[in-house]
Amino acid sequence: MTMIKKILNVFRPKPLADSVVVKPIANPRDFDANTHPQPEADKWTLSEFVVKTLVPIVGVHPYPLDELLLMCSTLNYFRPDLIVEWGTHYGASARVFFEAAQFLSIKTEIHSADLPLDVAHVENLQDQNMRGHLVKGKPVHLHFGDGLVIVQNLMKEKQPRLPLIFLDGDHAYETVQRELNILKEIAPRAVVLAHDTFYQKESSNYNIGPYKAVTEFATKHSLPIHSTVLGLPGMTLLYWGG
Ligand SMILES: C[S@@+](CC[C@H](N)C(=O)[O-])C[C@H]1O[C@@H](n2cnc3c(N)ncnc32)[C@H](O)[C@@H]1O
């Protein structure tokens, strides 16, 4: 095949297999940070995984396709040895991390925290049976408490090589700002995914607190950020420490 034909072939749409197969399709390529210093992932293979495996399990709420892909791409490139997320809620994000880690053969410990049931929060589930039900029976460690306190304890106890922290708890500007600042203090190297970070003009009445907190934090520390675009809820990747 000529080089031109090979290049065209890469960009030609490839049909998905008819049947939905809920198992790994192939191992996506690993990207070596020395030769690929910018985050890069095998999005074709991961897209098949998202469509065939993740969507049948978790659907596209609260995480649309581009956010599911960003979560998987982040795992593919950074290969964290500890994942700590909050809040757990139904367990959709925890399940995404579990399935993606399995698919990518990443040895990692997954911890998910949510507030105790009697703590008032607009999004706290009152039905104990629904809390984390998507990870029932899976090796995901569930915690009750403030996610920030739990991650602080886990950082001390586990001393991870590279933790991934998923912020999806309280979405007030001050909360996300505080969470990011404390994470920077306690983790010399970290990968952070923050949720609900979509920006829209004030007339929309959207909560742009998380957007404001992540962009200010990235500017203050001169960090690169990668965000999904053009629609709610929005997810942003940040990382530091080389
Ligand atoms: C938008 S939901 C998270 C969705 C969830 N990640 C999923 O996949 O279904 C927000 C959750 O964060 C919890 N939460 C709020 N503040 C928190 C905190 N400081 N620590 C832990 N969880 C918190 C709420 O109780 C609620 O269950």
User: If you write DSSP's letter for every residue of 151-219 in order, what string do you get?
Assistant: HHHHHHHH--SSEEEEE-S---HHHHHHHHHHHHHH-SSEEEEEES-----GGG----HHHHHHHHHHH
- Tracing tokens 């982040």 back to the chain, one arrives at 74
The model's confidence at residue 12, banded by pLDDT at 50, 70 and 90, is very low
The pLDDT of residue 22 is above 50:
no
Q: How far is CA 99 from CA 53, 139, 176, in A?
A: 8, 11, 26
- Tracing tokens 């965000």 back to the chain, one arrives at 227
Spell out the domains of the chain, with CATH numbers in brackets.
Answer: 45-240 (3.40.50.150)
C-alpha of residue 38 to centroid of ligand 1, in Å:
30
Phi first, then psi: give them for residue 154, nearest 5 degrees. -65, -35
Cβ of 146 below 6 Å from ligand 1: yes
The pLDDT of residue 81 is above 70:
yes
Cβ of 233 below 6 Å from ligand 1: no
Beta strands in the chain (DSSP E): 82-86, 109-114, 140-144, 163-167, 190-195, 225-227, 235-240
The answer to whether the CB of 88 falls within 8 A of the CB of 114 is yes
Q: How many CB atoms neighbour CB 139 within 10 A? A: 10
Mean pLDDT, residues 169-180: 98
Shortest-distance atom of ligand 1 to CA 96: 8
Q: What is the pTM of this model?
A: 0.91
**What does the mean pLDDT of the chain come to?**
90
Most confident segment among 16-30, 33-47, 50-64 = 50-64
Cβ of 90 below 6 Å from ligand 1: yes
Phi first, then psi: give them for residue 115, nearest 5 degrees. -65, 150
- pLDDT in the model for residue 124: 82
- pLDDT in the model for residue 112: 98
Cβ of 175 below 6 Å from ligand 1: no
C-alpha of residue 29 to centroid of ligand 1, in Å:
32
Q: Which residues are bridge partners to 140 per DSSP?
A: 110
Cβ of 95 below 6 Å from ligand 1: no
The model's confidence at residue 21, banded by pLDDT at 50, 70 and 90, is very low
